[in-house]
Amino acid sequence: MKKMLKSGISFVLTAVLLFTLAACGSSDAASGKTKDGKRTIKIGYLPITHAVPLYIEKEQEKYKDFNLELVKFGSWPELADALNTGKIDGASMLVTLAMKAKEQGIDLKAVALGHRDGNVLVVGKDIDSVKDLKGKRFAIPHKFSTHNILLYQMLKQNGLKYDDITPVEMPPAEMPAALSEGRIAGYVVAEPFGAASVAIDKGKVLFQDKDVWKNSIDCALVLRGEFIEKEKSIAEKFVDYYVKAGETAELKDKAMREMSSKYMKVDPKVLDLSLQWIGYDDLKIHEKDYNDLTKSLVEMKLLENPPSYKDFVDSSLIDKANP
C-alpha cells in the first residue's frame, strides 16, 4: 500500500512538473518575442476583402517596434476560439462573435472597423422581390453575424417574418455554388463571395447593406485586453499603421490589389465588383452605430446582455493615430 502511495505521489509530482514546464513554454511562445527582441503581434484573419487593411499593413512593413504575423483561418468559429484562448493577440473578425465572447467574460476590445459597407443580399435570378423568398432557404455565415441581422431587417422592412424563410448557416466559399445549383434562394456574406455570383450572372443584388441598415457594423479589428494593457505603446503604433493601411486600401489601385492578392485569390472581375461596394475610410467605431447593433442583437434574442460601447470599444488607439 505504501509502495502504491509513494508511486502515486511520484506520478502526481511528475505530472505537475511537466505541466509547469509546458506552461512556461506556452508563456514564452505567447510573449511573441523574436531573436531581434521585437514583439511579434499575431493577428487572425479570413481571406476576405473585409480584412484588406491588415494585408496592406503587413505588406508595407514600415514599422520598427514590432513584427506582424498574420494567421489565416478557415472559419469564424476556429478564429474565435484561437482569439478567446490567447493563441493570437487579435483578429479581423465578425464583431458580433467578439461581443458574444465579451459577454461570456473574455477580455476583448474592438479598436477599429475592418471596412465600411460591402455586404450585399444576393438572390437567384428567379427572385424579383423579398416576398419571393417566402418558404425558401437563405444562407448566412453565422447566426451571430451582422449578415444575419441584415437578413432579419430586410424581411421585417418588407412585411415578412424571420420564420417565413429558412436560414441556413453555410461556409462563405460554398454559397455561390449553392445558389447556382438552386440549393438556396439567396445569401448574404462578406465579400468577395457576393460578387462571385453576380460577376458570372448566376445571381443578382436584391439590396446593398446601406439600403437596409445604414452604417451597419460588420467586421472589426479586435485585440485582447491583456495585450493592450501590457503592450500599450506597441498597440498604439500597430493601430496607427492599420489606419494608414486603410487609407491605402481606399485608393483601390493596382498596388493595393497586388498586395491583397497575396492573401486572397480572387478573379480580377470579381474583385473589381466587390471593391465598388466596400469602403476603408473612417474606420472608427462610432457609438451610435454600435448601439444600433446591440439593439438588433437583443431584438433578435441573439444576445441577452451585449457589452456596452464603453466596456467593449476602445477608441483611444485610433484617436491617437496620425491622420
Q: Which domains does the chain have, with CATH numbers?
A: 34-116+218-319 (3.40.190.10), 120-212 (3.40.190.10)
This prediction's pTM: 0.85
Write out the three cell numbers for 143: 447566426
Q: What pLDDT score does 23 carry?
A: 36
**HSE toward the beta carbon, residue 156, CA cutoff 13 A:** 11
The pLDDT, as a whole number, for residue 64 is 80
Give the tens place of pLDDT for each residue, 205-255. 999 999 999 999 999 999 999 999 999 999 999 999 999 999 999 999 999
State which amino acid sits at residue 45: Y
Contacts of residue 140, Cβ cutoff 8 Å, sequence gap at least 6: 147, 148, 151, 167, 168, 169, 170, 187, 188, 189
Q: What is residue 29's predicted lDDT score, i.e. its pLDDT?
A: 37
Name the residue with cell 486572397: 264
- Residue-wise pLDDT tens digits, 7-37: 443 433 333 333 333 333 333 334 466 556 7
The identity of residue 149, as a single letter, is I
The length of the chain in residues reads 323
Largest Cα–Cα separation, the chain: 81
**pLDDT < 50 stretches in the chain:** 1-31
Q: Which residues contact 173 (CB under 8 A, 6 or more apart)?
A: 193
